[in-house]
Structure 1
Amino acid sequence: MVDEMNHAEMKEFHVGDVVTATVTEVKEKEAFANAGYKVDAVIPISELSSLHVEKVSDVLTEGEEREFKVIKVGDDELVLSLRAAIADKAWEELKQKYENDEIIEAEVKEVVKGGLVVDVGVRGFIPASLVERHYVEDFSDYKGRTLRMKIIEMDPEENKLILSQRAVLDEEVEAKKKELLESLQVGEIVTGTVQRLTDFGAFVDIGGVDGLVHISQMAHHRVETPADVVKEGDEIEVKILAVDQESERVSLSIKETLPDPWTTIEGKIKPGDVIEGEVKRLVSFGAFVEVAPGVEGLVHISQIANRHIGTPNEVLEEGQTVQAKVLDIHPSQERISLSIRALEETKTTDEKVEKESQPEEDHSGFSLGDMIGDQLKKYKK
């Protein structure tokens, strides 16, 4: 009678069923559970988790009730899997998160060759290249860290789940960049860090966005190479010239943050002054001479020499230091007229005057003293 009642109350099990069972015994490599079958079900240690488990007691305790998946059933045998039951639910949840592009969080359980392993109900793998935005040489201190990730690839049939923390970080950087671009104001002066130098300028990080300081905007004077003004890692002030949010381009200027050199020379250089400078450029109509940092004056071709010349380079060469006389100056118009010829003419005139002021020499062989002396001798006689 009892046997008949027990047989009547006994549940029917099929492979793939998910059942609730109570853990009755925990051993080192397996556990047993009462699922309502004629014998206690066996749960092998390999069926506890998608990751490696040292001992069963790390996962199950006697008396707890859990859901398991039937993986084998026979007359006197019932084998259950905790790992499979968890995985079924996990894949469903992961599929929804993948479709919704959601962020998932998980603790790093293992550091393996090529990346990191996490447990999200199933084994998830983060390739080394998808952990950070920068290169990481040693991942040993990542074990135990909780990471925020997005699903890059998933295949439940192959039990394959590829995750990326870098995807989350990239999106955050892009969002911050967009927010910063929207907040930037043309004419605003901000602080930035020089990231890299090129032949045509310097790229400066102004808080998440790289802006370009073109070589023409590096100083008031002509710059041969950006390295003459800044170096990588320098913290500098720059003025925002233009912002293009669509292309994410920002034009910056160092020059606009510096005092106008023409205002610094006002009142210090006057017509008639003789000043020294370096020949910066030779053009068909004259030479531009730098007389102060960022301030160039023009020596017209007619003012280069006191003789007729066809081109300025007959007399001058770039890089040469010369002296010139200031003929005219208009700082507000950024113009200085200079003359080298005027100094040559002055020098020639001075030499002529000096020559004319010298007493003429008597080439007869007699001096004035000799003549007077002879007369005195005659008088005494």
Structure 2
Amino acid sequence: MSEPAPDPRVQSLINQLRPGVVRTVKVTGFDGADVLVQLVDAEGERAEIGRIPRYEASMRRMEHPSELFEVGQELKAEEIGRWREGQLHLSARACESPALRSFLVAFEPGRVVAGTVSSVHNFGVFVHVDGEPDGLCTGFIRVPDLTWGLINHPSEVVEAGQRITAEVIIAETRSGQVTLSLKALQEDPLIRFADQVGRVLTGPIAKIVPFGVFVQLAPDIVGFLHLADLTDEAVETPDQLVDEGEMITVKIAEVDLQRHRVRLSAAGEADRT
């Protein structure tokens, strides 16, 4: 069976985050906390007016961009798009560190890189990517990109100091970060499970949430059983009926490879025999 096609919405977002064209601009003033600039062409002539939003001015902390820029100063900035009024918006922070930018633009989505886990948090994992500029930590792995399985904390998958190999999702010059994925290098276990619709299985309840329960069907595969399918009784939450770890018999109603989810239904008496 072939791999599921990438979500076009995700691909569109990745395309928007890819580095834009670098322009030379001259500071002409400030509009509140934004920096007003004019584009300078190769001959040094003034051209189109643009704007650097405050949050795109620098990776350094500041009260106001005037602490870093002065009228008449020329600098490099990356095009990030046009707002509704048609004015070009740019990012100076994307070009603030030439060494960092050079490192980041070399990464294409899908490239495999190596690195060392720097720290592990409940929201994700920071990684020192091999070859990054000294003093920086450029890699980050979101919790959903760590593993195909259901986990309670990233420390169940990796630990600080561990060497890893991961796939690049996107390198962002504006954030100075490479978003990585460990599970992209692992086979999606759901692909081999796609023909199991209609099958009745018994497994432990892996997690209880207010609107249903997740059931462990196989290694790295969980299915979701909605509260409405769990019981006909008038209960507010599933923990009034079941406990984590409790064995439950369910029927596979749907295997969605695109969204990577398994929808379950309650197994009837006829299914159990």
- Normalising by the residue count of structure 2, what TM-score does the alignment of the two structures yield? 0.53
The AA in structure 2 aligned to 1:206 is V
- Are 2:106 and 1:180 equivalent residues in the alignment? no
User: Aligned in 2, Cα 1:235/1:346: closer, same or farther, shift over 3 Å?
Assistant: closer
Offset at 1:250? 1.5
- Look up the SS of the partner of 1:335 in the other structure: strand
* Residue number among 152, 158, 171 corresponding to 1:243 in the alignment: 171
- Structure whose CA Rg is larger: 1
CA shift for structure 1 position 186: 1.9
Which letter does structure 2 place at the counterpart of 1:330? V
Q: Report the Cα distance in structure 2 between the residues aligned to 1:248 and 1:205, rounded to whole angstroms.
A: 13
The number of equivalent residue pairs is 169
**Alignment partner of 1:265 is 2:204:** no
The change in CA–CA distance for 1:346 and 1:251 in structure 2 (over 3 A counts) is: closer
Residues 82-119 of structure 1, C-alpha deviations (whole Å, 9 max, x = no match) = xxxxxxxxxxxxxxxxxxxxxxxxxxxxxxxxxxxxxx
Instruction: Give the match for residue 303 of structure 1.
Output: 229
Are the aligned partners of 1:279 and 1:322 in contact in 2 as well (CA < 8 Å)?
no
Q: Which residue in the other structure is 1:199 paired with?
A: 122
Q: 1:320 aligns with which of 219, 242, 245?
A: 245
The counterpart of 1:288, out of the listed 214, 219, 243, is: 214
SS of residue paired to 1:261: coil
Residues in 2 aligned to 1:205 and 1:265: alpha-carbon distance in whole angstroms? 35
Q: Which has the higher helix share?
A: 1
Whether the aligned pair in 2 keeps the contact of 1:177 and 1:208 (CA below 8 Å) is no
Task: Measure how far apart 1:264 and its partner are.
Answer: 2.9
- SS in structure 2 at match of 1:224: coil
**Cα offset, 1:228, TM superposition:** 0.8
Aligned pair partner of 1:219 in 147, 151, 174: 147
The superposition leaves residues 230-253 of structure 1 with CA deviations (integer Å, 9 ceiling, x where unpaired) of 112222111112212243222111
Q: Could you say which structure has the greater relative contact order, defined with CA pairs below 8 angstroms and 6 or more residues apart?
A: 2
Q: Separation in 1 of the partners of 2:262 and 2:167?
A: 26
**Shift in Å, 1:273:** 2.4
Match of 2:206 among 276, 279, 286: 279
Work out the CA distance in 2 between the residues paired with 1:220 and 1:301.
Answer: 24
Amino acid in structure 2 at the alignment position of 1:201: G
RMSD of aligned residue pairs (Cα, Å): 2.8
Q: TM-score, normalised by structure 1?
A: 0.39
Kept in 1, the 8 Å contact 2:250–2:266? The answer is yes
Q: What secondary structure does 2:160 align onto?
A: coil
Letter in 2 for 1:180: F
Q: Which amino acid aligns with 1:243?
A: A
Distance (Å, rounded) in 2 between the aligned partners of 1:196 and 1:182: 24
Identity of aligned residues (%): 20
Q: Unaligned stretches of 5+ in structure 1?
A: 1-173, 351-381
Structure 2 equivalent of residue 339 of structure 1: 266
